[in-house]
């Protein structure tokens, strides 16, 4: 569980990165979750964009992806989700 200070730090770190995944009409598929989990192993911090044609509410999408990938939900801002998962092998981000 992330503290508020850690979430604030991660939001600042995520400001300059671009969304690398998009959730659209198909919703949250097992393949998407698998790819998100793999990306989190390498990057630790990622953004996911939710497209306008997504049928599910953004809060549900964020919860599904974070719980299924084993990551922490940092923030939902607009239609963008920020996720964090500490990497065991490629640790790049030092949390306060």
Among 12-16, 33-37, 91-95, the minimum mean pLDDT is found in 91-95
* CA separation, residue 86 to residues 59, 60, 74 (Å): 22, 23, 12
- Domain 4-84 fold is Translation Initiation Factor IF3 (3.30.110)
Q: In the chain, where are the structural domains located?
A: 4-84
Integer Cα distance of 3 and 18 in angstroms: 24
**Rounded Cα distance, 63 and 49, in Å:** 14
**pLDDT tens sequence across 17-49:** 999 999 999 889 999 999 999 999 999 999 999
Check whether 87 has a pLDDT greater than 90: no
Q: What percent of the chain has pLDDT over 70?
A: 100
Interacting residues of 27 by C-beta distance below 8 A, sequence separation 6+: 54, 55, 56, 61
């Amino acid at each position: 569980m992330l503290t508020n200070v850690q979430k604030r730090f991660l939001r600042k770190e995520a400001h300059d990165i671009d969304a690398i995944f998009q959730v659209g009409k198909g919703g949250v598929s097992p393949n998407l979750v698998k790819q998100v989990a793999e990306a989190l192993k390498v990057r630790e911090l990622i953004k996911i964009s939710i497209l306008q044609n997504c049928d599910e509410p953004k809060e549900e999408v964020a919860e599904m992806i974070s719980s299924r990938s084993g990551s922490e939900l940092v923030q939902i801002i607009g239609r963008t989700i920020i996720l964090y998962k500490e990497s065991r092998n490629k640790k790049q981000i030092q949390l306060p």
